[in-house]
Amino acid sequence: MKNIIKQLRKKSNMTQAKLAELCKASRQTINCIENDKYDPTLELAFKIARALEKNIEEVFIYE
Amino acid sequence: MKNIIKQLRKKSNMTQAKLAELCKASRQTINCIENDKYDPTLELAFKIARALEKNIEEVFIYE
DNA sequence: ATTAAATGTCAAAAGTTTTGGACAATTTGA
DNA sequence: TCAAATTGTCCAAAACTTTTGACATTTAAT
């Protein structure tokens, strides 16, 4: 699973900490997901997508 | 988190077992997700959506 | 009414994600 | 160049998802 969180986040001038705050997740979690350490739960994927004003499939790429 | 797996699955004339097989998941997992016992991981959500020929956001409704 | 298929459910174990705290490394900009 | 901000990383514990196997209940069809 790939994602373009980092790109979208920078486009929005947002730090990992800020994105984490918006998602009510920890900064470490955002960092791990951004760096493909593991995949988020569906709920967190929704929160991230919403914070970045995108659909899930615009943020996360499966296959 | 809501989902319309059951409706889509029936529309496709698919049993839980068949959907599970397509997703390479267990029947119980599909059953639990259908009945809102817990939310899937993002990866499984993708597999379910693909098996039902939908986007994730057409299958799962967040808020 | 009987059967088979499909669905619902339980419990225990294994696997995965998320967290907090802490600190190192890198980037940014004054 | 220095300090501050940001990012990367480690650990261990908590929380959550998934699996297997088993059995009960419901549904559908004959």
At a 7 A CB cut-off, the residues bordering strand D are A 9, 15-17, 27-28, 31-32, 34-35, 41, 43; B 24-29, 32-33, 38-41, 43-44
Per residue in B22-43, pLDDT (tens digit) is: 999 999 999 999 999 999 999 9
For residue B41, list its beta bridge partners.
Answer: A41
> From the list A1, A42, A57, which residue is nearest B39 (CB)?
A42
- Cβ neighbours of B37 in A, within 8 Å: none
Cα–Cα distance measured from residue B24 to residue B1, given in angstroms and rounded to the nearest whole number: 22
As a rounded value in angstroms, the CA-to-C1' distance for B53 and D18 is 23
Q: Read off φ and ψ for residue A38, nearest 5 degrees.
A: -160, 165
Cβ atoms of A58 and B57 within 8 Å: the answer is no
What is the third-level CATH fold of A2-61? 434 Repressor (Amino-terminal Domain) (1.10.260)
- Cβ neighbours of A46 in B, within 8 Å: 1, 60, 62
Query: Per this entry, what is the length of chain A?
Result: 63
* Residue A63 reports pLDDT greater than 90: no
What is the structure's pLDDT at B63? Answer: 85
- Cβ neighbours of A55 in B, within 8 Å: 55, 57
Q: Where are the domains of chain A?
A: 2-61
Per residue in A18-62, pLDDT (tens digit) is: 999 999 999 999 999 999 999 999 999 999 999 999 999 999 999
Residue type, B30: I
Cβ atoms of B63 and A43 within 8 Å: the answer is no
